[in-house]
Structure 1
Amino acid sequence: NSFYLGEVGNASKMNLVLQLMAGVTMAGLAEGMALADRAGLQQKDVLEVMELTSLACPTILEKGKAIIDANFPTHLPLQHLQKDLKLSLSLGDQLEQPLPLTASANEVFKHAKRLGYGEHDASAVYIRARF
């Protein structure tokens, strides 16, 4: 599909909006799976229950399986998603749009990157969330 988004630069803004949503979702999934593990729940059970809810989307289920398998084949490098979160925050600053969840997700991704997971898939943010 093709979309006309108006003036030059709007496609880049659209990309940042979508990457922001992906980053916040990934950070939430990582924290949820870490909490489930810490609470003594089986992560595979979490995914099975999730499949029965409105949260069941291919990306969340795929990344959840990567977390369970501790196998993070790189589809979207963590460092690239963190860069887009940073750019989204910059756009938010320019437009005076508060982005508190994005700011928190960005910090989680920065920490995972500092731990050496920048070139791994973004789902490797879970490794940071476990601690």
Structure 2
Amino acid sequence: MQETKKAAVIGLGSMGWGAALSLLKAGFAVRGCDIRSDALARFTEAGGDACTTPALAAETADVILVYVINSKQVEDVVFGPNGALETAKPGTVFLLCSTMAPSATTDIAERLETAGMLVIDAPVSGGHVRALAGEITVMASGSQEAFDRASAALDAISAKVFRLGDRPGAGSQVKMINQLLAGVHIAATAEAMTLAAKAGIDLKTLYDVIRVSAGSSWMFENRGEHIVSGDYAPRSAVNIFVKDLGIVASEAEKAGAITPLAASALNLFVEASEAGLGQEDDAAVAKILARKSGATLPGMEE
């Protein structure tokens, strides 16, 4: 089995940053690319090789991890001017870690394979803390050859890799379902905490009770703590779930599936975005419900 030790990470946001540091800790030579100069400076300080274009990042890599926000950005950083495909060697493995519509993933993968590259559809989950620890979950699909060549990189960034098929697209389908649940759970957490605040329940006490009770979820544990502390610094922003639940709505319509809870959650995220909260932590949807309810949450002005 071939194990590569040269990697590129395109997009040093919360998840990409964790992946890049995990690769460095595992002994990889890592080139990182981002449009933000402060992220590149931090990456240099962490021991990485900062690059201003995807083409520069890709030219020595055996595996390229793409961690940008949406399919349009993936197309730009891969196929656009100064994109990774300009310099990537034939047989380079592209790990498409962004959350995209399955149809978009399939199209991008086919174009990369036509250009002589290997592709793993590899959306991830687990949050920035698990990303930093190299313990994310990867929902992956692709050829055996691609997995063989990327095995060391996948081991470095993840606690669990689910092999979901031998063609790109299957990973994105499963990630879409994950995002349906995640978005609904965040909305439900916001609703529960707002009702508690309106009823005069101490939110910290409520959080401590629910997180060890049947009504809890991973999102309640994680985002509920953000609401209790009034901390809306973006780990995953409201606008991410506008995108992701938008994918759910679009794909559900194509499939003829009915997704009323996802639709309600999407409406809440869209309303929060339109209210100027799009770049805040996705738990900020609670502010919308609190304002409508006449409740005050931590971090909100009286």
Structure number, greater radius of gyration: 2
Deviation (angstroms), 1:51 = 2.7
Name the counterpart of 2:194: 34
Distance 1:58 1:85, change over 3 A: closer
Contact 2:185 2:217 (C-alpha < 8 Å) held by counterparts: no
Letter in 1 for 2:196: A
Letter in 1 for 2:186: M
C-alpha separation in 1, matches of 2:235 and 2:215: 21
Distance 1:52 1:8, change over 3 A: closer
Name the counterpart of 2:164: 5
Moved more, 42-51 or 108-117: 42-51
C-alpha separation in 1, matches of 2:162 and 2:197: 42
The 5-angstrom pairing of residues 1-131 of structure 1 reads 1-6=160-165, 7-130=167-290, 131=292
Deviation (angstroms), 1:59 = 3.5
Letter in 2 for 1:8: P
Deviation (angstroms), 1:8 = 2.5
Letter in 2 for 1:79: N
Number of residues paired by the alignment?
A: 131
Where 2:251 maps in the other structure, the secondary structure is helix
- 1:22-72 deviation digits (Å, cap 9, x = unpaired): 100000000111011111111112101113313445542231121122111
Extract unaligned runs of 5+ from structure 2: 1-159, 293-302
C-alpha separation in 2, matches of 1:110 and 1:95: 23
Name the TM-score, length of structure 1 as normaliser.
0.92
C-alpha separation in 1, matches of 2:239 and 2:212: 32
The share of aligned pairs that are identical, in percent, is: 29
- For the aligned residue pairs, the C-alpha RMSD in angstroms reads 1.4
After the TM superposition, list the runs of 4 or more consecutive aligned residues in structure 1 that deviate by more than 2 angstroms: 1-4, 54-59
Letter in 1 for 2:282: A
